[in-house]
Amino acid sequence: MPDKLSAATGRPLQHLAGALPELRTPAPDWKLFRHEPQPGCHHCTARHPGGPVVQLLPHHRYVCTRHRIWIGPPDVTDLTTSLDTLPEVVHAQRQHLRILQRHGWAITYDAVLTAILICGQLWSLPETENGDAWHDWIRRANLLIPPGTSESTFSVSRLCAAVYPEAVALASRLASPYWKNRPRAAP
Ligand SMILES: [Zn+2]
Protein backbone atom coordinates (compact mmCIF):
# COMPACT_ATOMS: atom_id res chain seq x y z
CA MET A 1 0.00 0.00 0.00
CA PRO A 2 2.71 2.58 0.87
CA ASP A 3 4.56 1.67 -2.32
CA LYS A 4 1.41 2.22 -4.39
CA LEU A 5 0.89 5.60 -2.73
CA SER A 6 4.47 6.50 -3.53
CA ALA A 7 4.03 5.46 -7.16
CA ALA A 8 0.71 7.27 -7.51
CA THR A 9 2.03 10.54 -6.09
CA GLY A 10 5.49 10.33 -7.66
CA ARG A 11 7.09 11.10 -4.29
CA PRO A 12 9.59 9.00 -2.34
CA LEU A 13 8.14 7.11 0.58
CA GLN A 14 10.35 8.94 3.09
CA HIS A 15 8.95 12.28 1.89
CA LEU A 16 5.38 11.04 2.28
CA ALA A 17 6.21 9.71 5.76
CA GLY A 18 7.16 13.25 6.73
CA ALA A 19 3.53 14.25 6.25
CA LEU A 20 1.89 10.92 7.09
CA PRO A 21 3.31 9.43 10.31
CA GLU A 22 1.29 6.26 9.64
CA LEU A 23 3.81 5.41 6.90
CA ARG A 24 6.86 5.58 9.13
CA THR A 25 8.94 2.51 9.86
CA PRO A 26 9.24 1.74 12.70
CA ALA A 27 5.79 3.02 13.64
CA PRO A 28 5.82 6.17 15.80
CA ASP A 29 4.97 6.12 19.49
CA TRP A 30 1.58 7.81 19.17
CA LYS A 31 1.40 8.78 22.85
CA LEU A 32 4.33 11.09 22.18
CA PHE A 33 2.14 13.33 20.03
CA ARG A 34 -0.49 15.87 20.95
CA HIS A 35 -4.08 14.83 20.42
CA GLU A 36 -4.82 17.41 17.75
CA PRO A 37 -2.97 18.90 14.80
CA GLN A 38 -1.96 22.54 14.98
CA PRO A 39 -0.09 25.14 12.94
CA GLY A 40 3.65 24.78 13.35
CA CYS A 41 6.35 27.34 12.62
CA HIS A 42 5.12 29.38 9.66
CA HIS A 43 8.70 29.96 8.44
CA CYS A 44 9.38 26.21 8.32
CA THR A 45 6.22 25.57 6.26
CA ALA A 46 6.28 28.75 4.14
CA ARG A 47 7.38 26.93 0.99
CA HIS A 48 4.65 24.32 1.20
CA PRO A 49 2.56 24.65 -1.99
CA GLY A 50 -0.73 23.54 -0.47
CA GLY A 51 -1.56 26.60 1.64
CA PRO A 52 -1.65 26.74 5.46
CA VAL A 53 -0.10 23.67 7.05
CA VAL A 54 -1.21 21.94 10.23
CA GLN A 55 1.07 19.42 11.90
CA LEU A 56 0.80 16.71 14.52
CA LEU A 57 3.55 17.88 16.86
CA PRO A 58 5.05 16.06 19.84
CA HIS A 59 4.33 17.21 23.38
CA HIS A 60 7.89 18.46 23.84
CA ARG A 61 7.90 20.87 20.89
CA TYR A 62 7.15 24.39 22.12
CA VAL A 63 9.62 26.50 20.12
CA CYS A 64 11.10 26.42 16.62
CA THR A 65 14.69 27.06 17.71
CA ARG A 66 15.81 27.68 14.13
CA HIS A 67 13.40 30.57 13.54
CA ARG A 68 12.82 31.53 17.20
CA ILE A 69 9.04 31.12 16.96
CA TRP A 70 6.73 30.06 19.82
CA ILE A 71 4.66 27.07 18.65
CA GLY A 72 2.60 25.60 21.40
CA PRO A 73 0.51 24.44 23.21
CA PRO A 74 -2.03 24.54 20.39
CA ASP A 75 -4.38 27.41 21.14
CA VAL A 76 -2.64 30.01 19.00
CA THR A 77 -4.16 30.47 15.58
CA ASP A 78 -1.97 33.39 14.52
CA LEU A 79 1.52 32.01 14.86
CA THR A 80 3.60 35.13 14.53
CA THR A 81 4.84 34.89 18.09
CA SER A 82 8.45 35.85 17.55
CA LEU A 83 10.92 35.16 20.33
CA ASP A 84 13.65 37.45 18.95
CA THR A 85 13.50 39.52 22.14
CA LEU A 86 13.19 36.49 24.43
CA PRO A 87 16.26 34.29 23.82
CA GLU A 88 15.80 32.62 27.20
CA VAL A 89 12.54 31.07 25.93
CA VAL A 90 14.38 29.60 22.92
CA HIS A 91 17.12 28.33 25.22
CA ALA A 92 14.50 26.68 27.43
CA GLN A 93 13.35 24.55 24.47
CA ARG A 94 16.86 23.12 24.20
CA GLN A 95 16.88 22.39 27.92
CA HIS A 96 13.43 20.78 27.53
CA LEU A 97 14.87 18.43 24.87
CA ARG A 98 17.72 17.49 27.20
CA ILE A 99 15.17 16.44 29.85
CA LEU A 100 13.50 14.36 27.15
CA GLN A 101 16.75 12.63 26.23
CA ARG A 102 17.53 11.90 29.87
CA HIS A 103 14.12 10.82 31.17
CA GLY A 104 11.89 9.90 28.20
CA TRP A 105 8.72 11.53 26.95
CA ALA A 106 6.24 10.45 29.66
CA ILE A 107 8.23 11.80 32.64
CA THR A 108 9.14 14.93 30.66
CA TYR A 109 5.52 15.58 29.73
CA ASP A 110 4.32 15.27 33.33
CA ALA A 111 7.21 17.32 34.72
CA VAL A 112 6.83 20.23 32.28
CA LEU A 113 3.04 20.36 32.54
CA THR A 114 3.20 20.26 36.35
CA ALA A 115 5.90 22.94 36.38
CA ILE A 116 3.86 25.24 34.11
CA LEU A 117 0.87 24.86 36.44
CA ILE A 118 3.03 25.59 39.49
CA CYS A 119 4.48 28.70 37.84
CA GLY A 120 0.95 29.83 36.91
CA GLN A 121 -0.09 29.48 40.55
CA LEU A 122 2.98 31.39 41.75
CA TRP A 123 2.27 34.14 39.20
CA SER A 124 -1.16 34.66 40.75
CA LEU A 125 0.37 35.34 44.18
CA PRO A 126 1.43 38.83 45.29
CA GLU A 127 4.58 40.24 43.76
CA THR A 128 6.61 40.31 46.95
CA GLU A 129 6.34 36.57 47.38
CA ASN A 130 7.84 35.71 44.03
CA GLY A 131 10.87 37.91 43.43
CA ASP A 132 12.81 37.90 40.18
CA ALA A 133 10.73 35.27 38.41
CA TRP A 134 7.53 37.27 38.91
CA HIS A 135 9.16 40.33 37.29
CA ASP A 136 10.45 38.23 34.38
CA TRP A 137 6.96 36.84 33.76
CA ILE A 138 5.45 40.33 33.69
CA ARG A 139 8.22 41.59 31.38
CA ARG A 140 7.77 38.69 28.95
CA ALA A 141 3.98 38.89 29.07
CA ASN A 142 4.19 42.59 28.17
CA LEU A 143 6.31 41.72 25.13
CA LEU A 144 4.10 38.82 24.04
CA ILE A 145 0.78 40.50 24.89
CA PRO A 146 1.53 44.24 24.70
CA PRO A 147 -0.62 46.35 27.04
CA GLY A 148 -3.77 47.55 25.28
CA THR A 149 -3.65 44.81 22.60
CA SER A 150 -5.00 41.86 24.56
CA GLU A 151 -8.12 41.54 22.39
CA SER A 152 -5.96 40.51 19.45
CA THR A 153 -2.85 39.13 21.17
CA PHE A 154 -4.01 37.32 24.32
CA SER A 155 -3.66 33.57 24.46
CA VAL A 156 -3.05 31.11 27.27
CA SER A 157 -0.26 29.68 25.14
CA ARG A 158 1.57 33.01 25.25
CA LEU A 159 1.26 33.04 29.04
CA CYS A 160 2.89 29.60 28.95
CA ALA A 161 5.72 31.17 26.91
CA ALA A 162 6.18 33.81 29.61
CA VAL A 163 6.81 31.20 32.32
CA TYR A 164 8.45 28.57 30.09
CA PRO A 165 12.11 29.18 31.11
CA GLU A 166 11.39 28.83 34.83
CA ALA A 167 8.94 25.96 34.18
CA VAL A 168 11.57 23.97 32.28
CA ALA A 169 14.17 24.66 34.98
CA LEU A 170 11.69 23.40 37.59
CA ALA A 171 10.73 20.44 35.38
CA SER A 172 14.33 19.26 35.27
CA ARG A 173 14.16 18.98 39.07
CA LEU A 174 10.72 17.33 39.05
CA ALA A 175 11.90 14.76 36.49
CA SER A 176 14.82 13.78 38.71
CA PRO A 177 14.83 10.18 40.00
CA TYR A 178 15.06 11.67 43.50
CA TRP A 179 11.33 12.47 43.38
CA LYS A 180 10.49 9.16 41.78
CA ASN A 181 12.08 7.24 44.65
CA ARG A 182 10.95 9.62 47.37
CA PRO A 183 7.55 8.00 48.16
CA ARG A 184 9.19 4.61 48.70
CA ALA A 185 11.57 6.14 51.23
CA ALA A 186 8.67 7.44 53.33
CA PRO A 187 7.99 5.46 56.54
ZN1 LIG B 1 10.79 27.26 11.92
**Span from the CA of 19 to the centroid of ligand 1 (angstroms):** 16
CA 172–ligand 1 middle distance (angstroms): 25
- The answer to whether 64 and 97 have CB atoms below 8 angstroms apart is no
CA dihedral of 79, 154, 82, 171, whole degrees rounded to 10? -100
Cα(171)–Cα(110) distance, integer angstroms: 8
If you measure from the C-alpha of residue 84 to the centroid of ligand 1, how many angstroms do you get, rounded to a whole number?
13
Measured in Å, residue 42 CA sits from the centre of ligand 1 at 6
174-183: burial string, b at 16+ Cβ within 10 Å, e else: bbbeeeeeee
Facing residues of 54 across strands? 39
User: What is the sign, positive or negative, of the torsion defined by CA atoms of 89, 167, 171, 74?
Assistant: negative
Both ends of the chain: CA-CA distance in Å? 57
3-state secondary structure 8-29: HHCCCHHHHHHHCHHHCCCCCC
Please tell me the predicted confidence (pLDDT) of residue 181: 66
Separation of 44 CA from ligand 1 center, angstroms? 4
Residue 155: strand, helix, or coil: coil
- What is the model's pLDDT at position 72? 78
Q: Please tell me the predicted confidence (pLDDT) of residue 127.
A: 66
At residue 86's C-alpha, the angle toward residues 85 and 90, to 5°, is: 130
pLDDT at 2: 73
Residue 36 Cα to ligand 1 midpoint, Å, equals: 19
Measure 88 CA to ligand 1 centroid, in angstroms.
17
Q: Tens-digit pLDDT profile for the chain (187 aa)?
A: 677 877 887 888 777 777 777 777 777 777 788 878 888 888 888 877 777 788 888 999 999 999 999 987 766 556 568 899 999 999 999 999 999 999 999 999 999 999 999 999 999 887 666 678 888 999 999 999 999 988 888 888 899 999 999 999 999 999 988 776 666 655 5
Tell me the CB-side half-sphere exposure of residue 16, using CA atoms within 13 A. Answer: 17
Using an 8 Å Cβ cutoff, are 112 and 167 in contact? yes
